[in-house]
Copies of this chain bind each other. A is one copy, B any other.
Amino acid sequence: MTSFVFRRQVTVEFGHCDPAGIVFITRLFQYFDTSTWMLFEAALGVDQRDFNATFGILPLVDVRASCMKPLAFGEVIEIASRVTEFRRSSFHVEHHIRIDGELAVDGGETRVWAVRNKDDPEKITARPVPDEVIARFER
């Protein structure tokens, strides 16, 4: 487990909520995806827009979420994100959403470290995660 944690606050928007008045499941994964981009931007000091050119792409292979407490319209939630494991050419990120300090959603995602083929940008190839990348997640 790496030590660098990226935290941000999000206010639940009206349009994020379903007829039950709570955050619709799809939105959790929007929150997670954006937090992963921000986590890498913060850890590596690379603007999101330059990330692909500098490092590669990070296709999702596994995602999950466990919901302990519904998130309601107007609530301010805190999302804490951390790389829990770097494997050879993939890594796992955990996302914890808390309301008033209480864990509401426990989520996770596994992504591949990959680059596009120069000759055929439609094709991607998994690559070992560079050591200097891993080092940046230790603070």
Contacts and interface: CB of A to CB of B under 8 A. Distances in A.
Given A15-B18, A18-B17, A18-B19, A29 B30 contact: no
Given A14-B33, A33-B14, A48-B14, A62 B67 contact: yes
A26 interface: yes
Interface string A1-33: 000000000000111011111001111011001
Nearest to A38: B11
Chain A facing B: main interface SS: mixed
A55 to B, nearest CB: 15
A25 B27 CA distance: 10
B48 A30 contact: no
Given A20-B59, A62-B67, A64-B65, 19 more contacts: A13-B30, A13-B34, A14-B18, A14-B33, A14-B37, A15-B18, A15-B30, A15-B33, A17-B18, A18-B19, A19-B73, A25-B33, A25-B63, A26-B29, A49-B73, A59-B70, A60-B67, A61-B66, A64-B64
